[in-house]
Amino acid sequence: MPIFQILIAVFLSPQAWSYPEFIGYKYSSCLTCHFNGNGGGPLNDYGRALWSAEIAGRLFSGNKTEDELGQSSGFLGSTELPWWIRPGLKTRDLEYWANPGSSQRTSQNILMQADANVALFFDQDQRKAIVASYGYVPQPLRLSQPGSQKDKEWISREHYFRYQKSDSLWFYIGMLDKPYGIRIVDHTAYSRSKVGVAQNDQAHGIIAQYIQPKWEWSFDAFAGNLFQSADLRQKGFSTLYEYEVVPNARIGFSGIYSNNNYVGNQRLAIHSRSGLGYGSSILLEVGVIKNIPKAGGDIEQGYYSYAELQQRLVRGYHLFVNGQSYKANMTADHDNLVQAGFGLLMFPMARTEFRVEFASGRQFNDDTDVQPESWTLLAQVHLSL
């Protein structure tokens, strides 16, 4: 497959958004801003207020103070909703150009996301809650050919019951993301898509999460996605542990062990997240992937790596560079992928995000077969309510 097709396939997948880079703003735990303590999904009240009052720029904010910006960050602005409900809406649009400036230039506009979410609380302390997200999923390129069987375009992205047992212990029961690795913005990166924790890889299960000021640990026992055929469901467990070595710098490890009727999956990773001054950060993750066919045959054992540096320029505007690699099987001379990118992540005002990125990649099949380097330009806009 030519590398520009690989890049297009990567960036056309929808994304579930979370910002581990915000450890640079001294927010190291996802539970600070999300109902899901492992990140992703809708923001809680504090996360909404934080985005408006500290992260986003002040375009069109007038003379509002930081407190006033935070107080107007709710679903209906400053209008207070009943304590038992927190709704939300999200939409994301992508415009991309493959090989811009060349005779092979192609472009396309994709509505990547149109989601509605809600959190319903059984008590005012929010110790018991139901959280759900339902939304639109664009059809993958592989299904765009005439005669292809279409996937569902509207799905439940997540639905779970959250229970806070104590100040440190949380339980999540239902369908949600498996805790593993760094939950970066791009869920189609090799560290997400090749591992099996991408946008639509949620599973039904039970997650226990224990959080302390300097460390946290999550364990997930899952039965696979119950909307899939029984023989395809990957059943097993995953775990994630992080420890704060110094303030705003964490190291951790992750693992997944699962099986269905056809293949057994094993994944292990080490990772780190570090703040580099106010608003800036560096992320690193390295992992191994092992796939064991149930019907015999060769065992595939490969690896991946991901690195990202984000630099805050001024309030609401960040420069980022990233690089990643993937090798499907360390004993084979094919499927060697490398990719690098740079761009701007912008929050010019509350509820609004823009992302512009240049990405370059290559595929190496063996020592003599190297695909030409190709570039892709992507522009995204994300609106939330």
Question: Two tokens at 335?
Answer: 């499927």
37 class by beta-carbon count within 10 Å (0-12 exposed, 13-18 middle, 19+ buried): buried
Q: What span, in angstroms and rounded, lies between the C-alpha atoms of 87 and 228?
A: 28
Q: Which amino acid is at 63?
A: N
The DSSP secondary structure of 325-380, one letter per residue, reads EEES-TTSS--EEEEEEEEEEE--STTEEEEEEEEEEEEESSSS-BPPPEEEEEEE
- Per-residue model confidence (pLDDT) at position 275: 96
- Per-residue model confidence (pLDDT) at position 102: 76
Question: 279 in helix, strand or coil?
Answer: coil
**Structural domain spans, the chain:** 3-384
- Per-residue model confidence (pLDDT) at position 148: 57
Question: 94 in helix, strand or coil?
Answer: strand
Taking the model in full, what pTM does it have?
0.90
Strand partners, 86: 119
305 class by beta-carbon count within 10 Å (0-12 exposed, 13-18 middle, 19+ buried): middle
**Ranges of the chain whose pLDDT falls below 70:** 1-18, 139-151, 333-334, 366-371
Give the CATH superfamily of 3-384.
Porin (2.40.160.10)
- Per-residue model confidence (pLDDT) at position 10: 36
Q: Of 203, 156, 191, 198, which is closest to residue 13 (Cα–Cα)?
A: 198
Q: What span, in angstroms and rounded, lies between the C-alpha atoms of 78 and 91?
A: 21
- Per-residue model confidence (pLDDT) at position 94: 86
- Per-residue model confidence (pLDDT) at position 5: 39
Rg (CA), the chain: 21
Q: What span, in angstroms and rounded, lies between the C-alpha atoms of 366 and 193?
A: 23
Each residue's pLDDT tens digit, 173-232? 999 999 999 999 887 799 999 999 988 899 999 999 999 999 999 999 999 999 999 999
- Per-residue model confidence (pLDDT) at position 316: 95
Q: What span, in angstroms and rounded, lies between the C-alpha atoms of 289 and 272?
A: 19
